[in-house]
Chain A
Amino acid sequence: DVKVTQSSRYLVKRTGEKVFLECVQDMDHENMFWYRQDPGLGLRLIYFSYDVKMKEKGDIPEGYSVSREKKERFSLILESASTNQTSMYLCASSLRRLVTEAFFGQGTRLTVV
């Protein structure tokens, strides 16, 4: 069974902290994505990666960075957390084909206080 695993379901961090959200997939997928989900806004793409050490900005990259040192792992980094980054964060992965479906993790609900 395909699996995308996010390291935490719930996180509470303080304003100004550096925050790491980790995602691991066991499907040997080339593509990995980080989305942010907010009520009424749907899912918005923060960053994606199509290969190890390769990354591209999505629609809302400000305040975030990413790291992909190994094919199976994709990390989202909040350099200095702010309250407006309180949200649900979803990681996904997919094969590197023309277009294909993405498989999602369970999500990390981050609260910044």
Chain B
Amino acid sequence: AQSVTQPDIHITVSEGASLELRCNYSYGATPYLFWYVQSPGQGLQLLLKYFSGDTLVQGIKGFEAEFKRSQSSFNLRKPSVHWSDAAEYFCAVGASGTASKLTFGTGTRLQVTL
């Protein structure tokens, strides 16, 4: 069975600083990987996804993620954080089968200081 680990529960960065959120996955086949963002009281919005091809994936809101098969990682990055990026971020891995179920990590809460 697939699983996702987000080792950082809470991260605080200053506005304008760079950001990296960590994600490690466990899956026996080629992984399908996702990053979602959740603003307070809201549902989840897709930031980016990796299915195959180029290991550096660009997403919305200036985010990118890099797939590293050797490290089983899919870390999310942003070169300069804005105060509006404060939210909870979830990494997920997709499994093929009857339905394309997603397994989520426990999330990382990002706080941005001004």
Contacts and interface: CB of A to CB of B under 8 A. Distances in A.
A100 B43 contact: no
A42 B107 contact: yes
Contacts, number: 69
Interface residues of B, number: 27
A48 B103 CA distance: 13
Contacts of A98: 96, 100
Interface string A87-113: 000101011111111111111000000
Interface residues of A, number: 32
Interface of B: 6, 9, 32, 34, 36, 41-46, 49, 51, 90, 94-96, 98-107
Interface of A: 4, 30-31, 33, 35, 40-45, 48-50, 56, 58, 90, 92, 94-107
